[in-house]
Amino acid sequence: MTAHLLTDAAGPATDRTVIGENLSLPLFRTLSGVLAGHPYLKVVVDRAEDTWHLLDTAAHPFHVNYIATRVLGMDLATLDAELDAFNASVYMDPGRRFLLGVLSLHTGEDTDGRERTFLVLETTEADTMHGELLQFFYAFVRARVDGRLPLLLKPANHGQEEALAAISELLVPRVLSHELFGSRARTPLNPGEATGRLRFFRTQEEYAAAEAGLGWADIVAMPCLPDDVPRVAGFLNTAPITPLSHTNVLASGWGIPNAIVRDLEQLVERDGLDGAWVRYRVADDEISLERLDHEPALRAPAWHQQRIRLEPPLLEDVPVLALHRLRAADRDRYGTKAANLGELHHVLDSRTADLTAFYGRPRPPREDLYGHLAARLGLSGPSEAELRARAAEFVADAVGAPEGVALPFALQQRFLASSPVLQQGIGKLKMALELDATDVLDSLCLQLQHLIRHTPVPESVTRQISQAFPAPADPRGRLVVRSSSNAEDLPGFSAAGVYDSVTTVHGAGELLDAVRQVWASLLSPRSVRLRHQVGISLDDTYMGVIIQEYVPATLGGVLVTCDPTRREDFRNVYLNCSPGSPEQVVDGSVLPQQYLYNTVEGGGRTVALGSWGAGLSAAVRARLADLSLTGRLLQSHFSADDVDKPLDIEWLMTGKGDFRLVQIRPYAL
């Protein structure tokens, strides 16, 4: 083979790209960069010339640009004008000349427990390489890599996994994404930086004993943080969790770093980190903990001075309404969750909303992504009107909105006003908040919650609820009662997991108890403290309630219309699921399966199997791809002021295979 070293026009060897040379470990390290904590190297196989190119990562961040300009002699302006067609020629054409991939270097243990270093070869996520081409690609690279280095092929998407199923692992040794990354020692969850005091707790009991003393300058580290963790400087988990857990949504909303560091206990013991001041950084490609030799002079965080002002709600005596009669503007009477579900009914029933706006935004060098959306919807060259109509039809066919009723804020106010004892307790709590008497807040809140749960509901309020939502025909029928406040899903205050929902309600008696429990959650110690920290006045906060018949689910989960760990990624939707209800995903009772679905070029991949032993069937994964595209399309409507703002959607799949969306809200970023 002949090796070539590329140089720039002036002569100096600023570009170290190598053509036609076998790959040794020293050469790999010379050319590689770092991605997600692993050294990696871009490779291009040229089938026409029977050679390959090992790209200098620093000089060539994109395969496509390199091939176009260095191999084919195109200029970047021409490439930009023909980018989508060019991408199709290198990622999707079954007879393509070029095969594009990445080699990454990993360290793991072999079957004898000994540490080993190995390389992983993979294509880009949108690549549709069939089995024969994948086998050729692997064999070509294997013949040119140092034979002492094990080489595994990682399918980049579900399509490649299925294509490889018919090929022996003796011919193509492989590793799946969830196998490779599910055992990673360190995984970023929410990017950010913090300087603070590391507080490491091995058990929930250790945490509970110290919780009252935690402050804004602490970085809390433990196997799995509780949902009611107070606002602190940073989170560290030593056990796997999902990026869509309540605690990571809180980290995202609070703008604090969060990561999984499985070897943290060893680091703590080795470096004496527990109780030490540290600088903590989480990025896509690095998680670091740097011990400081002295206590830094820290200023109180900005949220200490933050003051969120709410628009005054409308408290006139409006009726209990069916969800399908609400619109987004009704949030000031019935709360955000109820209003969004009403808006969802409108979108699905009217089919007049423009659900294509996300794809109409320029993504340089592309003027828009309409062509990609058309391909996802099975259209060829549609007009703008045809594309909009098909998008609305696709969403209406893919998902349903839950039936139920919404109780307005006015009912809660009538209930609270009916009891002088409750009014006296609320007055004491307001006085404590005005005086910033935080030492008595918890006891006052707990007393108030107890009173709310045991104060009789006025007959007029009971009658309104029972008339709007009669008891199910089956006396054993189950209801779900959810919170719908005006003090949630706000910029700077997501309130994820702060208010109560009751999912096991049977009969009229339990219904009233559940409604009072949801009302009481507005005055829980945690919700009052969190709102007080950001300046939300107790006088401005109200609670509506959603009542629905329980729908049995075979699968439930949460999707967000972004990749939470890579905020610049506009292609992918992140989806978590587990058997049964979506509550299991967000409350951490099980570790869910995790998937990424590309809503631009198409395709999906499994990130983690969670507590399950096997993945979903290809048929169910295809349905989840449709659900993911539906979420992206709904983003165009529900984030109309900025179509790049992602949504957080809770969903379930019924025994009939239908999807129901049970909550839509902004995803905290």
Residue 436 Ramachandran class (φ > 0 left, ψ -120 to 50 alpha, else beta): left
pLDDT of the residue at 34: 83
CA 331 to chain centre: 25
- Are the C-beta atoms of residues 377 and 397 closer than 8 Å to each other? no
Please report which helix (H) or strand (E) contains residue 290, including its range. Answer: strand 286-291
CA 33 to chain centre: 26
CB atoms within 10 A of CB 103: 22
Please report which helix (H) or strand (E) contains residue 423, including its range. Answer: helix 420-434
Find the largest Cα–Cα distance for the chain: 91
Give residue-wise pLDDT tens across range 432-481: 999 988 889 999 999 999 999 999 999 999 999 888 776 555 666 789 99
Which residues of the chain have a pLDDT value below 70? 1-13, 36, 109-113, 182-183, 304-305, 470-476, 581, 583-589, 669
By three-state DSSP, how is residue 180 classified? helix
**Residue located via tokens 């709360």:** 335
- Are the C-beta atoms of residues 409 and 313 closer than 8 Å to each other? yes
**CB-based contacts of 88: which residues, under 8 Å, 6+ apart?**
none
Query: What is the tally of helices (H) and strands (E) in the chain?
Result: 23, 27
pLDDT of the residue at 367: 94
Tokens of 94: 């079954």
pLDDT of the residue at 38: 82
Range 170-200 burial, b when 16+ CB lie within 10 A, else e: eebebbbbbebbbebebbbbbbbebbbbbbb
Tokens of 392: 């609305």
Domains of the chain and CATH, by start:
4-175 (no CATH), 186-296 (3.50.30.10), 306-352+402-546 (3.30.1490.20), 353-401+552-666 (3.30.470.20)
pLDDT of the residue at 308: 80
pLDDT of the residue at 471: 59
pLDDT of the residue at 78: 95
* Cα dihedral: 408, 414, 417, 421 (round 10): -90
- Are the C-beta atoms of residues 502 and 484 closer than 8 Å to each other? no
Please report which helix (H) or strand (E) contains residue 524, including its range. Answer: none
pLDDT of the residue at 3: 42
- Are the C-beta atoms of residues 89 and 372 closer than 8 Å to each other? no
pLDDT of the residue at 10: 38
Q: Among residues 360, 377, 376, which one has the least CA distance to residue 126?
A: 376
Q: Residue 425 carries which side chain, given as an amino acid letter?
A: G
Give residue-wise pLDDT tens across range 251-282: 988 889 999 999 999 999 999 999 999 999 99
Pairing label, strands 543-549, 478-485: antiparallel
Helices 618-638 and 384-398 cross at an angle (nearest 10°) of 120
Tokens of 282: 């989480």
